[in-house]
Amino acid sequence: MGTQVTVVGIGADGWTGLSAAARALVEAADVVLGGKRHLAMLPEAGQPRESWPSPLRDGLPALLEKYDGLQVVALASGDPLVSGIATTLVDLLGKDAVEIVPALSSVALARARMRWSAESTEVVTLVGRDPNVVARSLAPGLRLLVLSSDGSTPAEVARLLTAAGYGASPVTVLADLGSESESRTDGIAASWGDQRVSDLNVVAVELISSGAAALGFVAGLPESAFEHDGQITKRDVRASALARLAPLPGQLLWDVGAGAGSVAIEWLRAHPTCRAIAIEAREDRAERIARNAATLGVPALNVLTGHAPEALGGLDAPDAIFIGGGASEDGVLDACWAALRPGGRLVVHGVTLETDSELAVRYSQLGGELTRLHVEHAAPIGRFTGWTPARAITQWAVTKDDS
């Protein structure tokens, strides 16, 4: 596609808020594309103006091809690269085909109104996303700026905060930032209720725990953070596995025999662009994994119900694989190793003699690390305290050659 597009950021103050250079770009365009609200901000002109198709991503190629070779300007809210159309256009057309003229973003305006520094603030976007992603960022004392999907988002966020034990947190909703109708509404999450505000809003939250157990941002969440039936990778060995799986931005994990989904969920919590597929044979456990993912702020986890290796066919090639159970089943290890990308990491846990024997053979063939993990916890022994050993885990971790 040879279309060239200039994306012009426009604030809630509309046409008058644009710089002279930005106005000139819009006036000189052969066609202007944008949302109906943005197009309504422009003065009358003889140029064609067309609103975005729905669904947007599927309809964009035909729309852009229609105006191929013309001078196209697209309007976007504020900074077009903050949950904006520019990101989609660059992905579709390539960076050399898109010029971007940003306006002041809603994030910058919200920080200015709150007097919050960029360094002390985390931005979470809910534009087109499940509100549960907020749960990934919950920590006492953290400041959040939540980009809302619409006017109901603040109430959804307040309910989520309250359910997670952060109901005491002050909530400020900044609506129509930069416009003549800009407004501010202050409240507390637990008492926010169902009040709705303008669709154009940012939710500012100072997180205060009201008895919630603080969950860390490194691997090894307690088992109590997950709903499970006992089939869960325990925190100490889970932390060891994730250290070797080494989550990296944008990379994909397969969690095979996922149980409660704890490894896949902690992989996703490591970075917002990480991706994961949890493969679990039992339907009730698969449903439980999805609930855990939502509760812990990573609702994008792809949960697949099925038996390995049959369920692995047709999946995107992974950058890392964790096998928490079933490694001794026919074909599972071979299918996983074949699917793993060059440079990918495989971690397998075993607790049976059959799996231990299989892992010893693989280690002799492919190398890596073969580790025996013994964990003991202090527990009462009558009037005294002693060590209670957990079941020993054999862990094989190996990296696939790049060749």
User: Do 260 and 309 reside in the same domain of the chain?
Assistant: yes
The CA-to-CA distance between both ends of the chain, in Å, stands at 34
Question: How many structural domains comprise the chain?
Answer: 3
Residue 58 placed within a domain: yes
Check residue 214 and give its pLDDT.
83
Residue 281 placed within a domain: yes
Would the pLDDT of 58 be above 70? Answer: yes
User: Do 94 and 136 reside in the same domain of the chain?
Assistant: no
Check residue 403 and give its pLDDT.
63
User: Do 41 and 94 reside in the same domain of the chain?
Assistant: yes
pLDDT tens digit sequence for 249-260: 999 999 999 999
pLDDT tens digit sequence for 259-313: 999 999 999 999 999 999 999 999 999 999 999 999 999 999 999 999 999 999 9
Residue 171 placed within a domain: yes
Check residue 402 and give its pLDDT.
81
Residue 386 placed within a domain: yes
| Of 256, 251, 292, residue with least CA distance to 270 | 251
User: Do 293 and 382 reside in the same domain of the chain?
Assistant: yes
Q: How confident is the model at residue 74 (pLDDT cuts 50, 70, 90)?
A: very high
User: Do 170 and 40 reside in the same domain of the chain?
Assistant: no
Percentage of the chain lying above the pLDDT 90 cut: 92
Q: Is the pTM of this model over 0.75?
A: yes
Would the pLDDT of 46 be above 90? Answer: no
User: Do 90 and 117 reside in the same domain of the chain?
Assistant: no
User: Do 161 and 227 reside in the same domain of the chain?
Assistant: no
Indicate which CATH number applies to the domain containing 72.
3.40.1010.10
Q: How confident is the model at residue 19 (pLDDT cuts 50, 70, 90)?
A: very high
Check residue 1 and give its pLDDT.
57
Check residue 326 and give its pLDDT.
79
Residue 277 is encoded by which pair of tokens? 């597929």
Residue 163 placed within a domain: yes
User: Do 302 and 378 reside in the same domain of the chain?
Assistant: yes
User: Do 298 and 180 reside in the same domain of the chain?
Assistant: no
User: Do 88 and 183 reside in the same domain of the chain?
Assistant: no
Q: Which residues form the domain of 61? A: 5-104
User: Do 118 and 67 reside in the same domain of the chain?
Assistant: no
